[in-house]
Structure 1
């Protein structure tokens, strides 16, 4: 099975990040999972201006970002807009999926209108949702 080079979790809820990380590890779809607590930290990571662990001397560009909506400092909407303005080498071929507890149908509609957002999933991430994400955006990476 091919693995994603990296997955970035952007969520201020430490428990949610822990659960998502454990699920991703169990699925075996990547060896590198980075977590940030808000959109600004994520931008710092993507632009190499933060203090993050380097893999083989480089900051691995995530192939998948799981993005929360409601966070302090910079929320998911603000991050999506800022991400769209990044240089191509900072964005890579990244797929962003909103992972949110929001029950507001307007949020799903708003996410669909943003070019940077490719998908919308409810929290908490489940193995079924993770498999759906992998099959839709990364066919050939999962058995």
Structure 2
């Protein structure tokens, strides 16, 4: 069971996905605040403000302008300043083997889950809360 006041960032350009994530978190009974970002740029800006860092980031791979990989590049620079690591789970509808291999080679990424979310994928998320 997650502790109170935990914040999870969901970075995805699909508003329906944000709705589903919040619904799934609610169904799990997790006391977690979900901050939704429809663009990676907005999330980086928020992280850069040195507000309290989230306990987890759920990141979409394919977004307009700045995609998930671009976000990770920007996040690495931020991480050096904050000296804190936030686990990132990449979430995508892509089943591309190259993408999955790239995830394994990316130290910031703890896991790769495919859409749509289901109970087993929520268990993966729970491991990092």
Match of 1:20 in 2: 21
- Please, which of 86, 96, 106 is the counterpart of residue 88 of structure 2? 96
Residues in 1 aligned to 2:63 and 2:41: alpha-carbon distance in whole angstroms: 10
- Which residue of structure 2 aligns with residue 34 of structure 1? 35
Aligned residues: 128
Q: Provide runs of 4+ in structure 1 moved above 3 Å.
A: 87-93
Q: Following superposition of structure 1 onto structure 2, how do residues 104-119 of structure 1 map, counting pairs within 5 Å?
A: 104-119=96-111
Q: 1:85 and 2:83 equivalent?
A: no
Q: Which has the higher strand share?
A: 2
Deviation at 1:2, TM superposition (A): 3.9
- On the 8 A contact 2:8/2:56 being kept in 1, the answer is yes
Spell out, residue by residue over 1:3-22, the C-alpha distance to the aligned partner (whole angstroms, 9 max, x if none): 26100000001111110111
* Separation in 1, partners of 2:82, 2:119: 29
**Contact 1:46–1:91 (8 Å) recurs in 2:** no
Verify the 8 A CA contact 1:46 1:90 in the aligned structure 2. no
Deviation at 1:127, TM superposition (A): 2.4
Larger proportion of helix: 2
Q: TM-score, normalised by structure 2?
A: 0.87
CA distance in 2, matches of 1:125, 1:91: 31
TM-aligned CA distance change 1:92 to 1:28, over 3 Å: farther
The aligned residue for residue 63 of structure 2 is 71
Give 5+ residue unaligned stretches, structure 2.
none
Give CA deviations for 1:43-102 in whole Å, capped at 9, x if unaligned: 0111128xxxxxxxxx43211111001101210000011111114564734110001001
* CA RMSD after TM alignment: 2.0
State how far apart, in whole Å, the 1-side matches of 2:3 and 2:36 are.
18
Contact 1:68 1:76 survives alignment (8 Å):
yes
- Partner residue in 2 for 1:43: 44
